[in-house]
Structures are given as C-alpha cells and as structure tokens.
Amino acid sequence: MRRKLLFGERMLLGDGTEPFNAVIPFRLRGTFKEENIQHALNQIQRKHPWLRALISHDENNIPWFEVPERHLPIPIRMVTRKGEDDWKEESAREWKTLFNYGELPLIRFVWIKGEEVSDMLFSFHHCLCDGGSAMAFLYEFLQLLDRPSAEIGVENPILGIHDVVPSEILTNRKQKLKAKVIGRLAATAIKCIPVSKKAVDRQKDYLIHWKFNKEMSQELISYCKSHEVTVNTFLCAALLQAFKKVRGNAAFNKVSCPVDIRRFASQIKGDHIFAFGLMIVVSANQKISFSENLRLMQESVERKTSKLNPYITMMVMESAHDVLKNFTKLLKHGKSSNDCMFSNLGRIQIPHQYKEFTLDTIFSPSVIGPLGNTTTMVTSTFRGEMDFSFVGSEGYLPYAEALAIRDEVIQTVKLQLDPIAIL
C-alpha cells in the first residue's frame, strides 16, 4: 500500500533534515509490562496502515507513504521516572529527535516508568496526522492496554485526494479551472514576495504548562455560554490582549486558529490518520472593551469559518506542488506576521477509569517545527479540567515574555469570571 504525500504533508515533511514533531503525553496510575504495551502498539498499527508506513522518494524526488511487507513495530524508549515534570523534558527531547522515516515508522512511544505512576508519550511526525487523529489512536491504545483482546476495527485509509474531495467536485471542469487559476495566482505571488536569505535563529525552545481546576474550568464554560461565545473565541481574545499588554507595539494582533477539516468533509472519519487542516486568523478591535470584543470576534469567527471550503482548498494546493520550495522558503525566512497559533481540542472523550489502571490526566499536545514562528498554545479539557501547553522559542518570543503572557491570560480569565475577587 502506498500513496503520494499531499501538498500540506510534503510541506510538513520538508527535506527530512529538520524535525516537525508532535507529542501527546499522558499519565497512568498502575503497573505495566512492556510486552503488553508493545502488543497494544502492534494492534493500533494493524488497524491503521499509515502507522506502519515509511517514506520513500520516486525518481522525481516525490515522497510517498509506503507500507512495507514486513512488520516494523513502533519503537519504545524507556526511562526511569524521577519526578512530576519528567514528561516535559522528554517532550522537548522528542521535538528535536528526527524520524528516520526511510527505515522506521513516523511514530514513537516513550515510557517514563515509575513504580505506581507512569507517564507515557506518543511522538509522531506532524506530516503523519493531526491532534484529532492522535486522540483516536490514543483511545484505542488505552483500550488494548486494558484488554489485549479488545476489538478496535480496521481503518479504511485515505489513499489520495479522491478519497476526500467528492468526485462531482474533483472532476467538475468549472471547479478544476477555479482551483488551477487560484493556484497559479498564489504561486506567482509566492515567487514575488521578497524573503531574507537567512532564517530566524530559533534559539532555545521551551514548554510552559498549566491547568484550570474543575471549578474554574466550569465557570469559564458557563460564562461563555451566557455570553453566547465559544471558549475558543474567549481564549483568543485573552491571548490577543495578553500579547498586546506584554509586547506592546511588537504584537501583531493576530492569532491563527486551526479548524478541524472533519467539520466540513464527512469523508474524513474521526479515526482516519490524516494531517490536512484548515485555518482562520482572529484579531481584536483594540479600541473597545474585552466584553465588547467577544461578540464582534465571535461574529468574525463564524463568518470566516462559514467561508472555508476544504475541497477547493485541497484542489488549489494540489495544483501548486511546483512552488512547494518557494512556499517553504517563505515560511522559514519571511517575517513573522502573527503572534501565536492557538488550537483548542475541546473536551477529550476518553474514559479515565479502566479495569487495570486509571488514566490520571492527558496533557495537552505540543508541536514544534521549522516553518516560521514556533509560538503555539494548545488547550484541551479532560476530566473537567482545562489544560494548557504553551510552546515557543527564545528567538521568536523570549521565555520571560511567554511567562508574562501566561500570567496575563490567567488574570484575564479570573477577572472576567469574578471581577470583585481580583480587586
């Protein structure tokens, strides 16, 4: 089984010399055997062919996902658990570790082994899949770790754009022409944009992590419902305000937000291994109050989201493979134009109580790569607690400023939920 990488996947893959890795850490209470962990990993590989795949290049240097005939298990790296924050150190180690994708799968497993508590990490190349896919195979892994005989089914994998874009759109002459024209215009623009010869020096990468307890998390959700805005919009507004307060004129007043393509393309199932995403940019009106901004931002988010068209977007990108190098160079060498990427995975629908162990927590994923500004905040909610991972690099956002931004976000949430308590 094999398929060509799509434009977005090729962009994330790069030339193989720089990692673009995502990490999902989680904490279990219980005791485990390595053979049971390996069995669970083998079974999720059996369900999902691309978790077994290598990457090969054809005579035109085009990369392909290719599933080898012989089974290549997901590698397990074991370390002894010394403290509560070991998962942060191992996450940072995994960000920097290249995948030898010509010989091993694009996914690894780290077991931070303790006597009664273990932290575990899935680390995968971002070209393989997104956070939604990863949560699906994490759920399956936990089922199998608890019950080795559990049935998790078999994925019918995506084999190309034809499995995502309906044939009546993909073969429509008008839609094909539209995609080609937009693609050519974008390609011309990309080639004409001047970029620096040197990429920004990222310097040291870092991870800042925090949680809201159940009470605060529920209060925030209730506040958003009463004001008819999403938690996502609220946190975008808090982020933009925090960047402005901390960075002043150096702030861009722009947050990029990934939008799950599964909301628009029903062909992509929840357990498909797939990496393509959509994006909107959110800004604030800095002349009005926070609460006034929420309503306007929510309207803007809904308007922009309603205009997203995953099918034309994919067709446009697939017509632009010839400018991939130019586009990648623009992302790497161009000046940063947004403050942060913000992704909200929402409530994670994974059980926490199992027969053989307890899933204590799932830490929000982290991801970092070489394509421009690395500043990224990811939030998720598990067992009623909102969890935040804030990743960045000193060369884009100094660590001290990132800490100040975190504090401002927390302060903004507290102020909106209980303005009297802050005084």
Output the pLDDT for position 327: 86
User: How much is the average pLDDT of 137-158?
Assistant: 96
Asked if the model's pLDDT at residue 263 lies above 90, the reply is: no
pLDDT at 421: 52
Residue 163 has pLDDT above 60, yes or no: yes
Q: Is pLDDT at 145 greater than 70 in this prediction?
A: yes
The answer, yes or no, to whether residue 422 has pLDDT greater than 60, is: no
The reported pLDDT for the residue numbered 326 is 86
Provide the pLDDT confidence category of residue 297 given band limits of 50, 70 and 90.
very high
- pLDDT on residue 423: 44
387: helix, strand or coil: strand
Q: Where are the domains of the chain?
A: 2-146, 201-309+329-422
Tens digit of each residue's pLDDT (9 = 90 or more) over 197-220: 787 889 999 999 999 999 999 999
Across residues 99-122, what is the average pLDDT?
A: 97
- State the distance between the two ends of the chain, measured CA to CA, in whole angstroms: 62
Same fold, 2-146 and 201-309+329-422: yes
Please state whether the predicted TM-score (pTM) of the whole model is above 0.85: yes
Confidence of residue 266 (pLDDT cuts 50, 70, 90): confident
| pLDDT value of position 335 | 78
Fold held by 2-146: Chloramphenicol Acetyltransferase (3.30.559)
pLDDT recorded at residue 192: 77
Q: Exposed, middle or buried, 191 (CB in 10 Å: 0-12/13-18/19+)?
A: exposed
The angle formed by the CA atoms of residues 259, 260 and 266, to the nearest 5 degrees, is: 135
Q: How confident is the model at residue 276 (pLDDT cuts 50, 70, 90)?
A: confident
Query: Is residue 395 packed enough to be buried (19+ CB in 10 Å), middle (13-18) or exposed (0-12)?
Result: middle
d(CA 99, CA 132): 21
Mean pLDDT along residues 299-321: 92
Average model confidence (pLDDT) across the chain:
93
SS3 of 53, please?
coil
Range 139-165 average pLDDT: 95
pLDDT at 189: 82
pLDDT tens sequence across 15-54: 889 999 999 999 999 999 999 999 999 999 999 999 999 9
The beta strands (E) that lie in 274-339 are given as 278-282
Query: What mean pLDDT comes out for the span 298-323?
Result: 92
What is the arithmetic mean of pLDDT over 122-126? 97
Which is higher by pLDDT, 319 or 421? 319
Assigned token pair, 58: 């054809």
DSSP code per residue over 143-189: HHHH-TT----------SGGGTS-HHHHT-HHHHHHHHHHHHHHHHH
At residue 420, does pLDDT exceed 60? no
pLDDT, residue 399, reads 98
Percent of the chain at pLDDT > 70 equals: 99
pLDDT of residue 295: 93
- Rounded to 5 degrees, φ, ψ at 365 are -60, 160
CA distance 238 to 118: 34
Residue 381: the pLDDT is: 97
In CATH, what number does 201-309+329-422 get? 3.30.559.30
